[in-house]
Amino acid sequence: MKKLSVLFAAILMFVTVGVAKAQKVASMDYEAVLAVMPETKKMTTELEAFSKTKGEELGKQADAFQKEVQQYQQVDGPKMTEAQRTAKEAELQKKQQNLQQIQATAQNDLAQRRDAAVKPIIEKLNKAVEKVAKASGYEFIIDSGALIYKGGPDATAAVKKELGL
C-alpha cells in the first residue's frame, strides 16, 4: 500500500510538471502600454484641465473666506458685542464647512470623471491583450510589473502593434 501511494504521488508529480510545461505563458508591461496609448494621454490632459479649473475656483473661494476671517479678526471682531461675535463666528464656521464640502465634491467629481474615462481605455487594452494571446497561443499573459523573475516571452510589443502604437 505504501509503494502504491508513493507511485501515485510520483505519477501525479510528472503529470503536473507536464501540464505546467504545456502552458504557454507570456508577460507584458501593462502600465507601459497603457501610458503610451493616445487615449490615456488625452484623458490625462482633460483631467488635468478639469482639476486646474476646479482648483482655481476653490482657490478664489478660499481666498475670499480668508479675507473675511481676517477682516473679522482684525477690524470687526473687537467692535462687536458678544452676541454679534457669536453670530459672526457661527456664520464663518458655516462658510468654512461649505468650502470643505465644495472641495470634497470637486475631488469626488474628478474621481468619477477619471473612472468613467479610464474604463473604455482599459477595455480596449484588454481586448488587444486577448487578441494577442489567442493569436500567439498564450494561455496566460501576466503583468511583468508583478514578476520577480521574467524568463519567458514578452507580449508587450505584440500588444502595442495590435493597438497600432
Mean pLDDT of the chain: 86
CA distances from 149 to 3, 19, 25, 129, 139 (A): 37, 21, 13, 21, 19
Residue 117 CB partners (closer than 8 Å, separation 6+): 43, 46, 47
Residue 16 has a pLDDT of 53
pLDDT in tens, 32-55: 999 999 999 999 999 999 999 999
Chain CA centroid to CA 62, Å? 28
Whether the pLDDT of residue 84 is over 60: the answer is yes
Nearest Cα to 160, choosing from 32, 42, 40, 27?
32
Whether the pLDDT of residue 121 is over 80: the answer is yes
Whether the pLDDT of residue 164 is over 70: the answer is yes
| Range of lowest pLDDT (19-28, 39-48, 80-89, 114-123) | 19-28
| Cβ proximity of 66 and 35 under 8 Å | no
Residue 78 has a pLDDT of 84
Burial 84-119 (b: 16+ CB within 10 A, else e): eeeebeeeeeeeeeeeeeeeeebeeeeeeebeebbe
Could you give the 3-state DSSP secondary structure of residue 150? Answer: coil
Give percent of the chain above pLDDT 90.
60
Q: What topology does CATH give the domain 24-163? A: Protein Binding, DinI Protein; Chain A (3.30.910)
pTM for the complete prediction? 0.69
Residue 6 has a pLDDT of 39
pLDDT in tens, 1-12: 444 343 344 454
Whether the pLDDT of residue 151 is over 60: the answer is yes
